[in-house]
Structure 1
C-alpha cells in the first residue's frame, strides 16, 4: 500500500503574508468571498486586518460569523445558506480551528449538495467534488486546519463531536502570518500550542507514521518545545516559531492520523465544552504513559526534540519517562491544568464509549478498549 502526502497548493509564511490574499484572489479569478470568522475576532479587530486587504484591492465579500468555539451542525447549515445567498465563489476562513472547520464543511456541502445532512460527512465521506476554494488564515498557532484534510463538528443533540476526513476539503491557499496571532491571550496561546504538540507527538507515534511524516513531526516537536513558552509571553520570536511549528505538525498528522488523546479530547469538548487544546494537553501525558510500551525507540527522539539532554545514555524506561516528564513540564509552565473537576464517575461509560467510536481511535499505537478508556479518563478526576 502506498503512503500518501497531501498539502496545500500554496502556502505563505511570515510577516505581512496576509497581503498575498489579494494577489491570490486576483490570480485565481475569484469574484466574491464569503469571509468566515467568529464574533470575537470581528469584535477585537482581527478579522478586519484581512477585510482591509480585500477593501484596498477592490475585492467583494460578505461576512459570516455564526460560528461557535466548538462549531455545530446548525452553524454549518446556516453557513451553507449564507454562502448560497451571497453569490460568493470562494471562502476566506479567518480564525482558529472553529472558523476553518466551519468553512470546510460549508465548502464541501456547497460543492456536494447531496451531503446537506451534515452528519453524513462523518468519517471518510465519499464526496465527489472539491470544496469551494478556501483561503485559510489561522489566528491561532495550534490546529493547523489550514493544511489538513480534517475538520470537527459538534452534534449538540447527541453530545458528541464527529471527525470528518476528506481530501476534498483542504484549503487551496494557507496564509500563516504570525501578526494574525499576536492578539491571542496567554491562555489561548498555551492551549492551542499544546494542541499542536499533541498533533506532533500523536502523529509521530500513530500506526500509519512513516519516514516523511516522522521528519515533519520531530521538527514540529522541536520548534514547539523551544518556542511555546515565548509565544505565551508574546515574544515576536515565539509567535513566529509557533506559527511555523504548528503548520509543520499539520503537514504530518493530516496524512497519517492521530490517536486516543484526540479521541478523548473530542469527547471532553462535546460533553463539558472543554477547550480542545486544554483537553489535549491534559490527556497527552496520560496517553503517552499508556502507549509507551508500543512505541519502540520513538520516545527517545521525542525526549531529544523536547530538549532533554543525555538521552543516548538513558535506558528505554528512562527516556520514556523523560519524554513524558518534558511534556508535563511544558504544559505546567504555560498554565494548563492537569485535572478536570467536571468529570463524574457516572459519566465515564458515555465518555469512554464516545472516545472509542471516535475516528482518531484506530490510529493509536496501542489497541485500546472501552474499559481502558474509562481508566484513562478517571486519571483526570
Structure 2
C-alpha cells in the first residue's frame, strides 16, 4: 500500500529559529507578506519581534491581528478581503492553532474564492493557495505541520473539518522560546492536545509505518515533559522537547488521522466554548478506555512508548497503566469536568443527539480503532459529563 506523505517544504526548528524568517521568505520566493495573528501576540511582544526582523531586511508587510479563538467563517472574511485587495504574496501565521488555522483558511479563500463550507470534508483541498509560513507559539496543535484546518460555521455552529495537501504550510518556524511565557493553563490544554494527537494517530485505522514513527517519537517527547512544562516554566529542556513533540504529533495525525476524541471534542468546543485542548483532555481517558478493544496491542505499546511500563508482556496491565496515567495527568493539571467548567446539564443533554451527529459527520470517529454508532457516542457524552 502506498502512503502519500505531506510535509511543509521548509522547517526551521530550535532556539532562535525565528531569525530564519527573512531567509525562509526568500527561499519561498516571497517578498510581501501579511501577518495573521491576534491581539495577545501584540501584547506579549511577539509581533514586535517579527516586525523588527522584517524591517531590518526592508521587507514591507501587512498586519491582520483580529483572529479569534475557535475561528469561524465570518471571523476571517475581513482578512480575506484585505489580502486580495493588497495583493500580498504570502501569509505569516503567528500564534496558536487558531491563528494558523485562520491563516490557512484565509489563504484558501483569497486564492480560490467561495466559502469555507465549500471545502469541508469529504472535499479534498488540493488547490495550491498563497504560501503560509506558520510560527506556532504553543506546543500543542501541530497545525504548523498539518494539512488540516478547522473553521466553525457561524450559521450552524458546526466545526467544519477541512483537509488536503493545499492546506499544508509552505514553511514552519518552530522556536520553543515562544512558549516560555505561556500560562500554565494554556500549556496544559495544548500539551494534552498534542498527546491526544500522538495517541490517536498511532491507533488510527489510517496509521502507517511513517506516521507510527512520528507518533512514537512524539509520545516519547511529550509524556515525560507534559507536567514539567506546566509546573516548571523555566525548564528549557522540557519546553524544547515538548515543542518538537507537538510538531511530530501534528505530522503523525496529518499523515494518518485523529479519531473519536477529536470527533467528540469539536462539538463540545463550539456549543459550550470549551478550549479545544481542554475538551480533548476531558474526553481522553474515557474514550481511550472505550476504544481499547479495537487496538489492544497498539494501546499497550502507547503505554510503553510513553515510558509508563518497560514492556507489553501483560496487555491488561499496560491498558490499566495507560488509563491511570491519563487520569493522573488530568488531575495533576486540574482539567475540569464539563460540570466543573460550568456547562449547564439540561442544555448539554438537550444537545446530545446534535453533538453526536456532528461528531460522526466530521469523519474522525470512522478512523477510531473501535468504530462507534450514534448511540455509542451519546452514551459516551453522558459518561464524561462528570
Q: What is the TM-score normalised by the length of structure 2?
A: 0.94
Q: Residue 310 of structure 1: CA displacement?
A: 4.3
Conserved in 2, the CA contact under 8 Å of 1:206 and 1:363?
yes
Conserved in 2, the CA contact under 8 Å of 1:107 and 1:131?
yes
Q: Residue 323 of structure 1: CA displacement?
A: 1.2
SS in 2 for 1:91: strand
- Alpha-carbon distance in 2 for matches of 1:313, 1:171: 41
Q: Could you say if the C-alpha distance between residues 302 and 126 of structure 1 is closer, same or farther in structure 2, counting changes exceeding 3 Å?
A: closer
Q: Structure 2, unaligned stretches of length 5 or more?
A: none
SS in 2 for 1:163: strand
Q: Structure 1, unaligned stretches of length 5 or more?
A: none
Instruction: Spell out, residue by residue over 1:95-144, the C-alpha distance to the aligned partner (whole angstroms, 9 max, x if none).
Output: 1110001100111122222xx22211101435563120111000010001
Matched, 1:336 2:340: no
- Alpha-carbon distance in 1 for matches of 2:270, 2:338: 17
- Alpha-carbon distance in 1 for matches of 2:222, 2:99: 23
Instruction: Spell out, residue by residue over 1:143-171, the C-alpha distance to the aligned partner (whole angstroms, 9 max, x if none).
Output: 01010000000112212211000111111
Instruction: Spell out, residue by residue over 1:189-225, the C-alpha distance to the aligned partner (whole angstroms, 9 max, x if none).
Output: 0000000000000000010112221111111111101
Conserved in 2, the CA contact under 8 Å of 1:67 and 1:102?
yes
SS in 2 for 1:226: coil
- Alpha-carbon distance in 2 for matches of 1:42, 1:313: 52
- Alpha-carbon distance in 1 for matches of 2:331, 2:218: 20
1:251-270 correspondence runs (5 A): 251-270=251-270
Q: 2:382 aligns with which of 373, 378, 381?
A: 378
Q: List, as ranges, runs of 4+ consecutive aligned residues in structure 1 with deviation greater than 4 Å.
A: none
Aligned length: 378
- Alpha-carbon distance in 2 for matches of 1:29, 1:295: 45
Q: Residue 358 of structure 1: CA displacement?
A: 1.4
Q: 1:369 aligns with which of 370, 373, 384?
A: 373
- Alpha-carbon distance in 1 for matches of 2:286, 2:277: 15
- More displaced stretch, 362-371 vs 118-127: 118-127
Instruction: Spell out, residue by residue over 1:254-292, the C-alpha distance to the aligned partner (whole angstroms, 9 max, x if none).
Output: 011110100111111110011000001111111111110
- Alpha-carbon distance in 2 for matches of 1:287, 1:28: 41
Q: Could you say if the C-alpha distance between residues 310 and 241 of structure 1 is closer, same or farther in structure 2, counting changes exceeding 3 Å?
A: closer
Q: Could you say if the C-alpha distance between residues 320 and 83 of structure 1 is closer, same or farther in structure 2, counting changes exceeding 3 Å?
A: same
Q: Which residue of 2 aligns with 1:210?
A: 208
Instruction: Spell out, residue by residue over 1:75-103, the C-alpha distance to the aligned partner (whole angstroms, 9 max, x if none).
Output: 22222101112221100000111000110
Matched, 1:351 2:343: no
SS in 2 for 1:262: helix
- Alpha-carbon distance in 2 for matches of 1:328, 1:182: 26
